[in-house]
Amino acid sequence: MKKKVLFMVTVLVLTMVLVPTVFAAGRQAGSAQKGIVIGYIAKNSTDTFHGPLNAAARKELDSLKASGKIANWYFYDGLTNPVTQVELMDTAINAGCTHIIILPAEAAGSAPVLTKAREKNIPVVVVNSMTTNTEQLAAAYVGSDDVQAGEMMAQFVQSKLPNGGGYGHIQGVIGNSAQIQRGQGIHNILDKDSKWKMLDGAEQTGDWQADKAVNFAMDWLAKFGQGLNAIICDNDDMSSAAQNYVNSRNRRDIVCIGVDGNAGPMNMVKNGDLLATVFQDGVGQVLKGIELIMKVANGESVPKTNMVPFVLITKDNVDQYLK
């Protein structure tokens, strides 16, 4: 009887010791199985520049999931609205996202996404344009030097119209870092050139939209006539639309140029209907962003700032970039 009691006590003690160990192992295993969950907060899912970026991101993230390198990922459409992007960050947190990639709608308006991520200890890689707190809070930034893009556009206009003239500038969404920096680059060059002047009232926001650019081109052409010699735009949707309009009014002498290097504008360059565009490798940016977020997830150190060069596209090199 004593032996039986002693045996039962021994079993009970061993059970008390082993059970917590089993549960602890179970918790660790469950945590490991949860893995990497990436939230991809797009700027939007509609415009011609971000469509290819999102498609490349989907393909790459689907591949990472299929290979087991990440547990899951979620696509969030920011609708070019910083308030929406901030709300989507809450959705991503609730969905269990462990890492975030964001293409900001605005520099200041989208900044709370990074603040919320820091509060939850979620690493963020910012792609394409910066928030006001990117340098302080992001794990990394991938983009291109938008000041350089503005300078490249202005210098191209100078080269094509060495006698100078009057120009208009159609801006992107006010407050977006690309809008701010591309405008800075344009002014860096043309404000110092006495042969060039910005026409009165000819710096307006087109919100990246082609129809608004056409309206400005129409108004400026009616107002300034032969005094309008160039229209510099913050993106190609606007520059190609403006160029098409002035061409239709027999003013092919007006030089229009923008940034992105979308297929439509590049075909116009190839056909001689548009003289140039500044190519931005958005797909390269977003793929680099995914590469960096995976390195961060795997505990590797990454460069804080990662720049993908702009390229001036003219008829001489358009075939290299037109796909």
- Phi, psi dihedral angles at 306 (to 5 degrees): -135, 110
Among residues 300, 301, 261, the alpha carbon closest in space to that of 283 is found at 261
- Structure token pair of residue 156: 């191209």
Q: What letter would DSSP give residue 314?
A: -
CB 53 within 8 A of CB 283: yes
Structure tokens at 142: 């991938």
Q: Where are the domains of the chain?
A: 36-142+282-307, 146-279
Per-residue pLDDT of the chain in tens (323 residues, 90 and over written 9):
434 434 333 433 333 333 332 222 222 223 333 599 999 999 999 988 999 999 999 999 999 999 999 999 999 999 999 999 999 999 999 999 999 999 999 999 999 999 999 999 999 999 999 999 999 999 999 999 999 999 999 999 999 999 999 999 999 999 999 999 999 999 999 999 999 999 999 999 999 999 999 999 999 999 999 999 999 999 999 999 999 999 999 999 999 999 999 999 999 999 999 999 999 999 999 999 999 999 999 999 999 999 999 999 999 999 999 87
The structure tokens listed for 241 are 């639309």
Task: Decide if 204 contacts 231 (C-beta within 8 A).
Answer: no
> Of 129, 55, 38, 39, nearest to 283 (Cα)?
55
Provide the β-strand partners of residue 203.
Answer: 169
- What would the DSSP string read from start to end of 68-83? TSSSEEEEEE-TT-HH
- Topology alike, domains 36-142+282-307 and 146-279: yes
Given the candidates 3.40.309.10, 3.40.50.10300, 3.40.605.10, 3.40.50.2300, the CATH classification of the domain at 146-279 is 3.40.50.2300
CATH of 36-142+282-307, one of 3.30.360.10, 3.40.50.2300, 1.10.357.10, 3.40.50.880: 3.40.50.2300
102 and 113 Cβ atoms separated by less than 8 Å? yes
Rounded-to-5 percentages of helix, strand, coil across the chain:
50, 20, 30
User: How many C-beta atoms lie closer than 10 Å to residue 317's C-beta?
Assistant: 13
pTM: 0.80
